[in-house]
Structure 1
Amino acid sequence: MNVNMLFGSRYSPLARRGLWRCYCSEIPKKNISLSEIIKPHDFKANLNSKSIRHALEGIRASVSNAELRKDPSFTEWIKKIESAHADAHSGSVKAEISGIRDLETLDLGNSFAIKNLENNLIWRCRNMSIEDLLFVLTFTRAKVKNVKLDSMSSTTSGIEDFDDSRRNQVEVKLYKEAVKCLERRWTEISKSDHLVTMILCSNAFSKSANEKIEDRVTDLAQDFCPTDNIRILVAYAKARRRPMNVLKNLTYHLKKNSDGIDSPLACDGLFALSSLSLFDQNLIQKLVDIISNDVDEKLSKELLTHCLISMGRLRQFDQRLLEKISNKLSQDLESLDYKTLHSYAMTSAYLNYRPKLCKSHTNILNYIVSQFSSYEKCIKNIPEGKRDGLWLDIIWSVSLLGFSNHNLFKSVLTEDFLNKIISTSTGSNVGGIRKLLNINAIAQFIDKEYKGPTIDVAAFPLLRDVNTASPSDAFSALCIDIFSNFASPPNHSKVNPNTGMGFSIGAEAVTQKKNLKPMDVEKYGIFGVATQEKNTSLPDDVKRLAMVPASYFDCNLNGSYGGMLDLRIRLLKSRGFKVLVIHHAEILAIPKKTDKVKHVEKIFKNVMS
């Protein structure tokens, strides 16, 4: 093949690129020197970064980086790039940046050639399009994120984690120039793609600039299609920004028009809503309906996993979708990884999804139990820092759903595993301890056949201090205030007692069954004392009573009981309690306090009858 034909005008650029690759692949066979490859190039033409990329793609296939840097022709080529005037780099910005990246792959990251190309981009920033500015921003942002920009100076004192301080200074200048130009020209931003990039890079901009971008999103949301609005929602979720006025505007337009949203996009929408804690039931139901129609055709197992996670976070109980997901996943159980199994078990537990006639659901949970039969076998494919937490999540989920076995109980109800969970739990993160106490209570009070080891809560003061009651919980305070009309604290009821089972209740009381007269709770109560063995015997015609507030976050969006609330009720009943549940939707719909008390009184009488 004649080398000169590669650069002839009778071939298209794409054809010349293909011929060049073919030619370079034959170099080792024909013993052609690297100089013969590089010499035919017109160096002025090859200062265009697209030509740099085309040339390097062929060269890298045949020559090592070390050999390339020793070749005099290549060295001459690099020197011409280093000394080139800015006018020589008149190609597109994307091609210019691609050329920089290609030169970096040759271990030339500290060379003056790259610094010269980056300096050229700085001079071009003022006249770049918005799209090119955003491309420059995303390119430089990853490189300067570890640099203290405010302390950047002509010295190297403000630079961290970079090999070449001078090149780093050029990158920071390019980054700052791109940010400055974008903030100055924010009125030109009108495309959804550009807004998405601006939101994802929101940490780079000032507070006022971000507020201007939010205004642009609000103004343009009505003109965007539903696909664009969902992409913007996802961007806010990934950026962890929650401007409620903008988010409400986007959800309003999505509820108004959801045409063109397919199931993968609906999964993205659910992810955004769950990450941003936007519990818009109408919009959530729309997205769930879209997903339900396409579960068998368009959704991969990865998307189903993300969908399950979002449904659990949003507390969206949808029988139809959950059954379809169960059927889809149960078709090939062997292909399910631990993330999918973990997501399915946790979501089913949180939503209290326990269908009696769904074989696929039963098959999946039985498969999970079989796969997690041994701790040592399970942890092999799990990252080291997540092993204990994921194992506890699985055991907690299958125990709550009624699929656990004695071997699984024994694997977590040990002092060694308890110490692991305590060591990783802090004052603001006691979820692991609560789950372990839930499992301990299930093994003791629900599974009557279990005879293995359990945790003595009284022996661990830290476990007794774990209390889920919040003194600032307005709904719980309202329920306690109403309940005090029937059993007033402190003599006749204990407020927010710690049950020792991983949760607290609104109040504990002991009441006569016939006349509903409260008894001395200090004498007969069992919660909040040093040992659970004390005062367990009751006189005839006397019942233990537990008042449990069913707050908004304890229930699913459709009003049904969530898994944790249902577990509390089952555990309390297993210990001989009558359970008085005050549902938030019922009590908050009644305006007057006297009417609220009358409503609870009816529930009270029905429970005790």
Structure 2
Amino acid sequence: MFQLSRIIPSTSKCCNVLPSLLRFNNFALSPPFTELKNSQDAEDISLKPRGKLNSVIGSPSNHSAMVAEVFASLNSEENTLRTPYTDARLEKAKNIDELLSVSQGNGVSTRHALKVVSILADWTNAGKVELADFERDSRFIRLCKLLTKSGGSHKPSKIIMSRSDDLTTVLSVTADDEAAKMVENITLSQMVKVMQTLSLRKRRSILLLRALAYNITGSTDQLNLKQCSDLLYSMATLNFPDENLLSRVGGDICIALEKNIKKGSVVGSILTSLGLMKYKNPGLLDSLSEWMVKNDSSCRPQDIFSLLMTLAVLNYFPTNSERLFEVLLPQLTPSEATSPVVWLEIVWSLVLLNKASNEQVSSVLSEEFLKKLSEDSSSTSIKLKLLNIDSAAQYLQKDYKGPRISENSPIRITQISHTKEKYQMVNSVLDTLKNLIQSEKLIRTKVNTGLGFFIDAECLLDKKCSPVPLEQVKLNKEARRVAILTYDYHDMTRGRVEPTGINVFATNILRSQGFRIVTVPYVEYRPSDKLVQRVQYLESKLKEIVK
């Protein structure tokens, strides 16, 4: 956006400034975008590395003041005016006369004026029209004056100082493509503010987010720790985990941490966002863990909780793990947790990291604690975490003799809902498996283990990879009990495509029960592949596991 408050006091001045205005609009936002698979309810977008943009003709410094003033001017109340009739005329305009005709009447806002000027700039740059065709047209001059209306008698410099930082007006532009064009002409701190505003408004404008990610990634300016925290939170909130932007932010965090001494809350926020996005960056996680150990006195209990929960979700052990757990684990007590649910999350995280004590496990599985959870126990997530902890007490905790969840508890029949993509992948694997093991009596599918996770398929195979009836599991000592687990996009981390903590935990539990595990990750198996390819892939995995 741009404010032309100095530009149009007369026709001659309008003519002088118009070439600059056209140059401002003369850039193409066309990086080679690459879309990833869907995440939750919306798509995830990744951008290829930024190239050099030579799209704005002329010196950027010559445009900066004008750009800042225009951003400010569009804060006016007129900008929020909605006039469908005028919008329709702009959409249908095919020539200069039809386009400028919108200036005739009272239903024209600064938003419409900006739209007209932007279209004219595009037409001129494309060679469809000439500058001389409209630069002295009274209707064009009227629209230009409308853009300066909010400036009034104020000095432009004062407008810039008082309002140039209010970049939320980018979001008020008629179309997202226009707002995206403007992103390149604002500062790095302003881009961060726009991303924050999108997050606060819960406005997931993919085009604008792509432009922000592309330009922030390519900026040579350094992000401070607070800006990194704000960007990560915005990406997590908007479900926009752009991997190039994540990498850029991660690098700046490692640099900024060296200067950060007391901001434990900012570090805690960063860790929470990384966990929500399942972003696994070993170098970044190591730096954050080292900072936490060195500055543990500056960290709140919730910051420590955030670190442990993120490490658990990502199944990552930092290089300073031994020292980390030595310093932080003694600080984890139920009294520090703000609610029973928070303490449950903490113990669950420690269980996934195999760092939970018998006392901590017992504290969560006790009847007294379960009663405290009764108000929230209807949550599927809470039930599954309780089952995970209970299964750890049974199979992983040494010499555990504390309370357990009863076998007939309704918690054990908790159902797990899957995404559409997960269902498609599971069903495809099962159809493929049935071509190898043709009798359904030899396969058990979609097994609810009662341990907080499902087995997609279970079978019994001998040394020659031939199927054996499942009821012979205790009779045939040479048979291998096989569990097949499919991993879709949501079951893997970003940054490094590896199983999440809960999936690694499930395989550990199954191995302790004597299962041989066959994992089918989405990066290796595609439901769209031909059946013969899928059969060959699964057969090779089964043969390998029974050797």
Common fold by TM > 0.5: yes
Could you say if the C-alpha distance between residues 258 and 519 of structure 1 is closer, same or farther in structure 2, counting changes exceeding 3 Å? Answer: farther
The one-letter code sitting in structure 1 at the alignment partner of 2:244 is N
Match of 1:320 among 268, 277, 283: 283
The reply to whether residue 196 of structure 1 matches residue 162 of structure 2 is no
> How far 1:417 moved relative to its partner?
2.7
Match of 2:325 among 365, 374, 381: 365
The reply to whether residue 412 of structure 1 matches residue 364 of structure 2 is yes
Task: Quote the residue 2:461 is aligned against.
Answer: 511
The answer to whether the Cα contact below 8 Å between 1:195 and 1:217 also exists between their aligned partners in 2 is no
The one-letter code sitting in structure 1 at the alignment partner of 2:488 is S
Could you say if the C-alpha distance between residues 294 and 332 of structure 1 is closer, same or farther in structure 2, counting changes exceeding 3 Å? Answer: closer
Task: Quote the residue 2:342 is aligned against.
Answer: 390
> What is the distance in 2 between the residues matched to 1:490 and 1:470?
25
Task: Quote the residue 1:152 is aligned against.
Answer: none
User: Please, what is the CA RMSD of the aligned residues?
Assistant: 3.1
> How far 1:471 moved relative to its partner?
6.5
The answer to whether the Cα contact below 8 Å between 1:311 and 1:347 also exists between their aligned partners in 2 is yes
The reply to whether residue 431 of structure 1 matches residue 387 of structure 2 is no
Task: Quote the residue 2:429 is aligned against.
Answer: 479
> How far 1:286 moved relative to its partner?
1.7
CA displacement, residues 306-340 of structure 1 (integer Å, 9 cap, x when unaligned): 11112112222111121111111112323321210
Alignment of 1:43-192 (within 5 A): 188=147
The answer to whether the Cα contact below 8 Å between 2:222 and 2:252 also exists between their aligned partners in 1 is no
Task: Quote the residue 2:211 is aligned against.
Answer: 249
> What is the distance in 2 between the residues matched to 1:592 and 1:258?
46
The one-letter code sitting in structure 1 at the alignment partner of 2:336 is C
Match of 1:331 among 294, 299, 315: 294
Could you say if the C-alpha distance between residues 470 and 245 of structure 1 is closer, same or farther in structure 2, counting changes exceeding 3 Å? Answer: closer
Task: Quote the residue 1:551 is aligned against.
Answer: 488
> What is the distance in 1 between the residues matched to 2:390 and 2:176?
49
Task: Quote the residue 2:93 is aligned against.
Answer: none
The one-letter code sitting in structure 1 at the alignment partner of 2:297 is E
Task: Quote the residue 2:336 is aligned against.
Answer: 378
Alignment of 1:281-360 (within 5 A): 281-298=243-260, 300-355=263-318, 358-359=319-320
The reply to whether residue 214 of structure 1 matches residue 176 of structure 2 is yes
The answer to whether the Cα contact below 8 Å between 1:366 and 1:403 also exists between their aligned partners in 2 is no
The reply to whether residue 542 of structure 1 matches residue 479 of structure 2 is yes
> How far 1:517 moved relative to its partner?
2.0
CA displacement, residues 239-291 of structure 1 (integer Å, 9 cap, x when unaligned): 11112222223223333445443443233222222221123222211211121
> How far 1:509 moved relative to its partner?
1.6
> What is the distance in 1 between the residues matched to 2:245 and 2:74?
35
Could you say if the C-alpha distance between residues 587 and 262 of structure 1 is closer, same or farther in structure 2, counting changes exceeding 3 Å? Answer: same
> What is the distance in 2 between the residues matched to 1:451 and 1:598?
46
Task: Quote the residue 1:161 is aligned against.
Answer: none
**Corresponding residue SS for 1:491:** helix
The one-letter code sitting in structure 1 at the alignment partner of 2:508 is R
Match of 1:593 among 531, 541, 545: 531
Alignment of 1:579-590 (within 5 A): 579-588=517-526
Task: Quote the residue 1:230 is aligned against.
Answer: 192
The answer to whether the Cα contact below 8 Å between 2:167 and 2:193 also exists between their aligned partners in 1 is no
> What is the distance in 2 between the residues matched to 1:479 and 1:320?
35
The one-letter code sitting in structure 1 at the alignment partner of 2:478 is D
Unaligned stretches of 5+ residues in structure 1: 1-128, 138-179, 200-209, 525-535
> What is the distance in 2 between the residues matched to 1:229 and 1:489?
59
> How far 1:391 moved relative to its partner?
0.3
Task: Quote the residue 1:266 is aligned against.
Answer: 228
Could you say if the C-alpha distance between residues 403 and 378 of structure 1 is closer, same or farther in structure 2, counting changes exceeding 3 Å? Answer: same
CA displacement, residues 10-66 of structure 1 (integer Å, 9 cap, x when unaligned): xxxxxxxxxxxxxxxxxxxxxxxxxxxxxxxxxxxxxxxxxxxxxxxxxxxxxxxxx
Q: Which gives a bigger RCO, structure 1 or 2 (Cα 8 Å, sep 6+)?
A: 2
Q: Larger % of helix: which?
A: 1
CA displacement, residues 534-556 of structure 1 (integer Å, 9 cap, x when unaligned): xx734221121111112211111
Unaligned stretches of 5+ residues in structure 2: 1-69, 79-107, 116-146, 151-159
Could you say if the C-alpha distance between residues 185 and 197 of structure 1 is closer, same or farther in structure 2, counting changes exceeding 3 Å? Answer: same
Bigger radius of gyration among the two: 1
CA displacement, residues 465-513 of structure 1 (integer Å, 9 cap, x when unaligned): 332545762222222233333345742222221111111121122222x
Match of 2:451 among 492, 496, 501: 501
The one-letter code sitting in structure 2 at the alignment partner of 1:354 is F
> What is the distance in 1 between the residues matched to 2:314 and 2:345?
15
**Corresponding residue SS for 1:424:** coil
Could you say if the C-alpha distance between residues 545 and 265 of structure 1 is closer, same or farther in structure 2, counting changes exceeding 3 Å? Answer: same
Number of matched residues? Answer: 403
Task: Quote the residue 1:44 is aligned against.
Answer: none
The answer to whether the Cα contact below 8 Å between 2:445 and 2:458 also exists between their aligned partners in 1 is yes
The answer to whether the Cα contact below 8 Å between 1:251 and 1:283 also exists between their aligned partners in 2 is yes
Task: Quote the residue 1:126 is aligned against.
Answer: none
Percent of pairs with identical residues? 23
> How far 1:579 moved relative to its partner?
0.4
The reply to whether residue 564 of structure 1 matches residue 502 of structure 2 is yes
> How far 1:134 moved relative to its partner?
5.0
**Corresponding residue SS for 1:297:** coil
> What is the distance in 2 between the residues matched to 1:487 and 1:244?
45
The reply to whether residue 461 of structure 1 matches residue 410 of structure 2 is yes
The answer to whether the Cα contact below 8 Å between 2:196 and 2:231 also exists between their aligned partners in 1 is yes
> How far 1:406 moved relative to its partner?
0.9
Could you say if the C-alpha distance between residues 192 and 343 of structure 1 is closer, same or farther in structure 2, counting changes exceeding 3 Å? Answer: farther
The answer to whether the Cα contact below 8 Å between 2:384 and 2:414 also exists between their aligned partners in 1 is no
